[in-house]
Chain A
Amino acid sequence: MVKKRASLALLPLTLCLSSVPVLAATTADLEKRLEQQEKKIKRLENRLKGTRSAVKENRSRISAAADRLKINGFMTAGAATNDGDELVEPNTGIEDNYRANSVSKAGVQMTFEITEDWDATVQLLSRGSADYKLEAEWAYLSWQATNDLSFKFGRQRLPYYMLSEYLDVGYALPWVVAPIELYNIPATTTDGIAGVYNFRAGPVNFAYQLYAGQASGYTEQLEAEFISSPAWGTSLTAEWSDLTVRVGYNRSTLNTNPDEDGLADSLLTALSRAQDELGPDYGVANPGNLEADPDNIKTEYISAGFTYDNGSLLVMGEIANLNTETFQPVGDAGYLTVGYRFGKWMPHVTFAKFQTDSKADDRIRAIQEYADAVGKAMYGAPAVGGLTVTNDTINALALGGALAGSGAIIPSTACAGGGCDSQVLTLMGIRDSVQEGVLAYSQDIYNAMENQIQEQQSYTIGLVYDVTPRVKAKLQATHYENFGSNTYQYLNVVEGAVPTGNPALGSLDAYGGFTTVDGHSNGRFSGDPDAAGNHTAIYSFSIEAVF
Chain B
Amino acid sequence: MNIKSKLAKVISATGLLLAATLASAEVVVIVSSESSISNASAKELQQLFLGKRDYVGGVEATPIDQEEGNDVRDEFYTKVIDKSPSHLNAYWSRLIFTGKGAPPKQYFDDSEVIEVIMGDKNAVGYIDSASVTEGVKVIYTAQ
Contact = CB atoms under 8 A, between A and B. Distances in A.
Interface in A349-391: none
Contacts of B99: 111, 121, 138, 140, 142, 152, 156
A166 interface: yes
Nearest to A59: B108
Contact of B102 (A70, A123, A152, A469): A70
Contact of A239 (B52, B93, B97): B52
B83 interface: yes
Given A142-B99, A165-B98, A469-B68, A205 B93 contact: no
Interface size classification for chain A: 35 or more
A472 B97 contact: no
A207 B52 CA distance: 11
Contact of A169 (B53, B85, B97): B97
Interface in A424-470: 466, 468-470
A109 B52 CA distance: 22
Interface residues of B, number: 22
Contacts of A311: 82-84, 87
B92 to A, nearest CB: 8
Contacts of B68: 469
A171 interface: yes
A525 interface: no
Nearest to B47: A205
Given A72-B96, A142-B99, A311-B82, A147 B54 contact: yes
A166 B94 contact: yes
A166 B97 contact: yes
Contacts of A469: 68, 84-86, 88-89
B87 A546 contact: no
B94 A172 contact: yes
Nearest to B95: A166
A294 B60 CA distance: 55
Given A147-B54, A239-B52, A546 B83 contact: no
Given A165-B98, A166-B98, A171 B89 contact: yes
A513 interface: no
A472 B85 CA distance: 12
Contact of A166 (B82, B86, B93, B105): B93
Contact of B100 (A74, A172, A196, A546): A196
Contact of B105 (A67, A72, A165, A196): A67
A107 interface: yes
Interface string B44-57: 00000000111000
Contacts of B23: none
Given A147-B54, A469-B68, A172 B93 contact: yes
Contacts of A140: 99
A157 B54 CA distance: 27
Interface of A: 67, 70, 72, 74, 107, 109, 111, 121, 123, 138, 140, 142, 147, 152, 156-157, 165-166, 169, 171-172, 196, 200, 205, 207, 239, 309, 311, 344, 466, 468-470, 472, 546
Ranked nearest first, the 3 interchain pairs of A and B with the lowest CB-CB distance are A469-B85, A165-B98, A466-B86
12 contacts: A67-B105, A72-B96, A111-B102, A123-B97, A165-B97, A169-B93, A172-B97, A205-B53, A466-B86, A469-B68, A470-B86, A546-B89
Given A200-B53, A311-B82, A469-B86, 7 more contacts: A157-B98, A169-B97, A171-B90, A172-B94, A172-B97, A309-B87, A469-B88
